[in-house]
Amino acid sequence: MGFHIDHICFSYEERKVLNDISLLLDPGHFYGIVGPNGCGKTTFIDLLMGHRRITSGSILYKGKNIASYSRKALAKEISLVPQNFYINFPFNAREIVMMGRYPYIPRFSPPSAEDIQVADEIMMKTGTKKFEDRYMTEMSGGERQRVIFARALAQDTPVLMLDEATSNLDISHTLNLLDIVADKVKQKGNTVIAVIQDINLAATYCDRMIFMKQGGIAAYGDTDEVLTEETIKTVFNVSSKVYSEPYSNSKKVAFIRE
């Protein structure tokens, strides 16, 4: 069982941000969330993570209210790669990645051999092991983002949330990291829910897409069905051409200058 989202609303004081959203998010899919700036994408992720409380409605994960999970229990189920990660204390890259193992390490105990092995393997896959001893405060924005991505992968949860997680990365590292998580979806039945601004990148990796507009769901379903010129016009108010691209085996969107 995945997420059962039933008529949720959320407001910041008097300003309504999300309005009457209902969705079923089944396990084993790569979901892409796209929409204009300020439409509520990050807030939606925060609610699924349990970081914020809904104003009304309900969010169930594996049949239980998301608010009923302890922080430690939820940390074994859902991990997050945020768009921005601020840290002023000089932790090195390896220490940050090892933080992903904290939900599995008993209090006052050192990491186990398994924890160390998981961190090592993830750092190798993500290309972050080569600067494992460097401090986060001395890294570029892209290097820091890769370390935070590695931390979430080391957490080894069945659900991974990505909030514009590759926006600071070059195309090579973007493809490498998204390949890693897409493989987890395919091989292990994991779930990825990703806010992605680049529609073509979302179309390449996401088998299902959620289009948001003004705090609601404008379209939701299989990518091949909902990624249409009509949807893009409705959501973004721009003209486009949507076509199948054999090279990437996915739909692509082309835009023209008005």
> From residue 221, how far is each of 4, 138, 158, 162, 242 by CA, in Å?
15, 42, 21, 19, 16
Q: Which of 35, 56, 52 is nearest to 43 (CA)?
A: 52
> How do the pLDDT tens digits run along the chain, 258 residues long?
899 999 999 998 888 999 999 999 999 999 999 999 999 999 999 999 999 999 999 999 999 999 999 999 999 999 999 987 777 788 999 999 999 999 999 888 999 999 999 999 999 999 999 999 999 989 998 999 999 999 999 999 999 999 999 988 999 999 999 999 999 999 999 999 999 999 999 999 999 999 999 999 999 999 999 999 999 999 999 999 999 999 999 999 999 877
- Residue 92 DSSP symbol: B
DSSP β-bridge partners for residue 193: 31, 161
**pLDDT value at residue 220:** 97
| Residue 247: partners with Cβ closer than 8 Å, 6 or more residues away | none
Whole-number Å distance between alpha carbons of 193 and 209: 9
Count Cβ atoms below 10 Å from residue 258 Cβ, excluding itself: 5
Whole-number Å distance between alpha carbons of 230 and 239: 9
**pLDDT value at residue 134:** 95
Task: Report residue 83: phi and psi, to 5°.
Answer: -70, -40
**pLDDT value at residue 169:** 93
**pLDDT value at residue 112:** 93
**pLDDT value at residue 176:** 96
**pLDDT value at residue 125:** 96
Q: Are strands 208-213 and 30-34 parallel, antiparallel or unpaired?
A: parallel
**pLDDT value at residue 17:** 94
Domains along the chain?
3-228 (3.40.50.300)
Q: Are strands 216-222 and 30-34 parallel, antiparallel or unpaired?
A: unpaired
Give the gyration radius of the chain's Cα atoms. 19
> From residue 30, how far is each of 99, 119, 196 by CA, in Å?
25, 24, 12
